[in-house]
Amino acid sequence: MESLSNRKKVIEQKPMTLAERMYLPAIAKGLAITFRHMFKKKETIFYPEQERPISENWRGLHSLKRDENGKERCTACGLCALACPAEAITMIAAERKKGEEHLYREEKYAAVYEVNMLRCIFCGLCEEACPKEAIYLDGPFLEADYLRKDFIFGKDKLVEAPLKS
Amino acid sequence: MELAFVIEKFALVIVIFMISLGVAAYSTLAERKIAAFLQGRVGPHRAGWGGMFQPLADGAKMFFKEEIIPTQSNQFLFIAGPSLALLTALIGSAVIPWGQSLTFGDTVVQLQVADINVGILYIFGVVSLGVYGIMIGGWASNNKFSLMGAIRAASQNISYEIAMGLSIIALLMVTQSLSLKEIAAQQSGFINWNVWAQPLGFLIFIICAFAECNRTPFDLPESENELVGGYHTEYSGMKLGGFLFAEYINMFISSAVMATLYFGGYNFPFMNDLGLPQNIITLIGVLFLFAKIFFFIFFFMWVRWTVPRFRYDQLMNLGWKVLIPLGIANIVLTGIWIIVKDTYFK
């Protein structure tokens, strides 16, 4: 039948010639190809010393941001935890006391903020959900560790370093 | 038998033993390096300069690993398997002429442990014993994958031994001698190398050598994607190391045999025109022999990382329906050639 798209190609299956059935010419060709590969540039990146360049929109470990005065932006609204498809984020909110105005931007803040890095799928939905621009996935890779409990990152690991004045 | 003779042979045995083990150890590094280079990687490079100490690290790891002997296995044979594999791999080197003789004063030292007049036959015997190590180890594991691997190894080695023997017969018709020393001595210079007289025989021999060493493309006894680990599935620690080591020593010995039988052994071009003293010629000859051996080891690895594994029926087809008829044809052709040469080119 006539092909409608005209893209169909009938491939003829010829019986193999003697040279093809001997395999040896093909093996010699293959050996030549692999031999040439010996002198090509190596693709290896020597990881701990050298790192692969990561793209602009790379999503790494989370960091909780501070505003221009060094106050924590997070108000513990819980939208990130709600948005998280992997249920990796938990938090406990607390009220800001008098004399803590220099630490927290608004009256409510996250006393505990934990991300379980083994649950996290690094999708970035928390970043999108956050109304206060408080969480960003701009960190490095997640490094290996020995215990599961060490993969639950608290505020000590997540919050940005305070501003230097 | 004098004491000096015993000491001389003993020293030679020790040296060859150490060299075999050293070459086998560094073959593991070379294998990984060559695999890496062919695939655009750098291979092991952390332990020492360019990974120089990687074999030592691997060996130490093997020794410190837990030795697991399955409770349902036959314990004596389980340990005997890798030991036998190592033993048979190592004793093959006894008849290989590593060089001509060295002369110190009036003592002449032959660089060959035993010049027996049926050297090739001895090699054959040892090679066919080699499969017992695999067979016993695989059977004693009491594991179906091990048994499958062992059976494959046995049938493969037996099949390819025939073709190998046929290629050797054609070679013997040319050399008129079974002694490896004699064969090596006949091939002095470059033009007398047996590979020029026996190209087809060499091709058959090298293919069979790949199969006998269980190297890719004929590594069906340990094909990982079908048989877990083949005959050494149940092995761990240094007993596994014994099997792997035996494979690399086999590769070294068969490279040495190929170099001796077909590529002139210790002979190198213009060796008699240089006008150097005999001892120097001998030492250069040893270096040349090792250069040839290392080339063949490289070739083994080069093929391993190029050609995919054969299917089992393809392996048997190649062995029985292609190589054996070719080997017989080679014998006939060689016979005709010898008669033609003797009657017309005298």
* ipTM reported for the complex, 2 dp: 0.76
* Segment A47-81, tens digit of pLDDT: 888 888 888 888 889 999 888 888 888 888 889 98
What dihedral do alpha carbons B70, B75, B77, B79 form, nearest 10°?
80
Question: Under the phi-then-psi rule, with left for phi > 0, alpha for psi from -120 to 50, and beta for the rest, what region is B282?
Answer: alpha
* A110 DSSP β-pair partners: A93
Say how far apart CA B173 and CA B181 lie, in whole Å. Answer: 16
**In chain B, which stretches have pLDDT less than 50?**
none
Q: What is the pLDDT of residues B105-134, one digit of tens each?
A: 777 777 777 778 888 888 888 888 888 888
Residue among A116, A93, A115 nearest A106 (CA): A93
Distance separating alpha carbons of residues B141 and B150, to the nearest angstrom: 10
Q: What distance in Å separates the CA atoms of residue A117 and residue A103, rounded to the nearest whole number?
A: 26
From A48, which residue of chain B is nearest by alpha-carbon distance?
B46
Domain ranges of chain A: 63-158
Question: How many angstroms separate the Cα of B18 from the Cα of each of B12, B260, B280?
Answer: 10, 20, 23
A165, pLDDT greater than 80: no
Judge: domain A63-158, CATH 3.30.70.3270.
Answer: yes
Round to whole Å and give the CA distance between B237 and B65: 5
Query: How do the domains of chain B map onto residue ranges?
Result: 70-344
Backbone φ, ψ for residue B243 (5° rounding): -65, -45
Measured between CB atoms, which of B41, B42, B306 is closest to A34?
A: B306
Give the pLDDT of residue B1: 61
Q: State how far the Cα of B220 lies from the Cα of B319, in Å rounded to an integer.
A: 14
Chain mean position to CA A60: 4
pLDDT exceeds 70 at position A28: yes
Contact B305/A42, CB-based, under 8 Å? no
Angle between helices B119-140 and B237-261 (to 10 degrees): 160
Write out B219-269 in H/E/C secondary structure: CHHHCHHHHCCHHHCCCCHHHHHHHHHHHHHHHHHHHHHHHHHCCCCCCCC
**pLDDT for res B46:** 83
CA distance B201 to chain A (A): 15
Per-residue pLDDT band for A146 (boundaries 50, 70, 90) equals: very high
Using CA coordinates, name the residue in chain A closest to B36: A38
* Mean pLDDT, residues A76-92: 90
Q: Is there a contact between A27 and B307 if contact means CB atoms under 8 Å apart?
A: yes
- Give the pLDDT score at B332: 92
